[in-house]
Structure 1
């Protein structure tokens, strides 16, 4: 099993350069890892056996019945959910079907692994777009300043390069920040879309699935037929038509066991609570971005908290002359370079801005 999931270890690897926020990483790392792991797990027949087992008297055609029922889906009977198991019906939702009675078909189980794989791709899409738009800018800014111990000549050269780059691009980072915020919005929209997609996929059962689970948690297992067993039945029915010995059409009424549904219900319970959590966190993050854009003092406090060793006056000068876009670059820079180097770069940048032109001689004198 470890070999099966070895291909996913890249999602756990820490990136050398941070170009996004923690809430954004929940979408493309934790969520994608869970979805791809669940998809692989459901595809591993050696751990859970065949996905369907049908009970039928004639063992000669059992393989044909199982294949037919898997392809054409099985069903349960809604009127049989409230009947007593072991007395009126053999299993929840299983009863003798009469003409005109409703059937609830269970055809989703054929596609669960593929749907989870598709969801993993969609959750990674905002990250993919951001990597394309970011173009390695923050990696170029960081240079080798993430290492605290550098020779004086190397650190001075890196300071000058970084300060010069920040200075000439100051006030022109709007596109950089806007694209990132758009990706955060896209991540939130994607979560909502995924919940609606799963609700359609499961026949309208997903949007309230977690609420129903909480409501029925205290019930005894024998009576907890809704929503766990009802949405993911272990035992279903299937009708197969064949020719009998006389050449007449013969109806074969088979019971089919779906072993993977015990795993499917756990996957979708976790997904419901996780997606609700992602929606809340993403909405709070976007509101936080709005506050940052509207309140320069909040931007200043965040930078001071992130780089407490930096000059408070220098940070106040930079925040006062910048909008959210330039602040965002400074914040990401604080995440990617050593705090000592960051303090020097901030002071150097303020000196360059006060001169309104970058003077390498003046900056060199600053570091002496």
Structure 2
């Protein structure tokens, strides 16, 4: 039966694969997804508009300094302002004047997102690096001489 397919010639050089589809998905595509996401989120922070803090008009000359401070220290919401009528009791849920000693919740996640995405991408690529380092081409050298010609019964 294999002789019937002998008319098909293999044009490409046989390159043995020592990993499978799932492994390639992890170290290639998932890695690229996380790195691309990190680049996009970093570009948004660098090129796009960061947090724009509300600054009184007397501090307009220092607006860039205040915005940098807000970006580094994070934002917070006032816990009591999550309940009520928007536009009457508060400008937006959680946003409004804070009274002394009032409970607030800090939100410090956005500036760390690119670093977490890069770390996740590195963790998806790390097993591939470890495999290449530990395997050292052993499997490739074992299966290098195997080809479709062996199955077709042709002589080299």
Query: TM-score of the superposition, structure 1-length normalised?
Result: 0.34
In 1, the alpha carbon distance for the partners of 2:119 and 2:24 equals 18
Q: Where does 1:304-323 land on structure 2 (aligned, <5 Å)?
A: none
Q: Post-superposition shift, 1:117?
A: 0.8
Tell me which of 144, 147, 150 is aligned to 1:341: 150
SS in 1 for 2:100: coil
SS of the residue corresponding to residue 26 of structure 1 reads helix
Corresponding residue for residue 34 of structure 1 = 33
How many residues in Structure 1 have an aligned counterpart in Structure 2? 139
Q: Once superposed, what is the RMSD of the aligned Cα atoms?
A: 2.6
Deviations 1:133-186 (A, max 9, x none): 22112322343xxxxxxxxxxxxxx4xxx6xxxxxxxxxxxxxxxxxxxxxxxx
Name the residue aligned to 1:81.
Answer: 82
Between 1 and 2, higher relative CO (CA 8 Å, sep ≥ 6) is seen in 2
Q: How does 1:3-152 map to 2 (within 5 A)?
A: 16-45=15-44, 49-58=48-57, 59-143=60-144
Matches within 5 A, 1:274-293: none
For residue 45 of structure 1, report the CA deviation from its aligned partner: 4.5
Query: Take 2:24 and 2:16, find their aligned partners in 1: how far apart are those partners?
Result: 13
Q: What stretches of structure 1 of length at least 5 have no aligned partner?
A: 1-15, 144-157, 163-336, 345-366
Q: How many angstroms apart in 2 are the aligned matches of 1:17 and 1:42?
A: 37
Distance in 2 between the 1:110 and 1:55 partners? 19
Deviations 1:160-213 (A, max 9, x none): xx6xxxxxxxxxxxxxxxxxxxxxxxxxxxxxxxxxxxxxxxxxxxxxxxxxxx
Aligned-residue offset at 1:124: 0.9
Classify the secondary structure of the residue corresponding to 2:53: strand
Q: Secondary structure at the match of 1:54?
A: coil
CA distance in 2, matches of 1:30, 1:56: 43
Q: 1:121–1:135: structure 2 CA closer, same or farther, 3 Å change rule?
A: same
Provide closer, same or farther for how the CA distance between residues 52 and 140 of structure 1 changes in structure 2, counting only shifts above 3 A: same
Distance 1:17 1:82, change over 3 A: farther
Q: 1:109 to 1:46 in 2, by over 3 A?
A: closer
Assess, with a 3 A threshold, how the Cα gap between structure 1 residues 47 and 27 changes in structure 2: closer, same or farther: same
Matched residues in 1 for 2:20 and 2:120: separation? 21
Which structure dedicates a bigger proportion of its chain to helix? 1
| Inter-partner Cα distance in structure 2 for 1:33 and 1:25 | 11
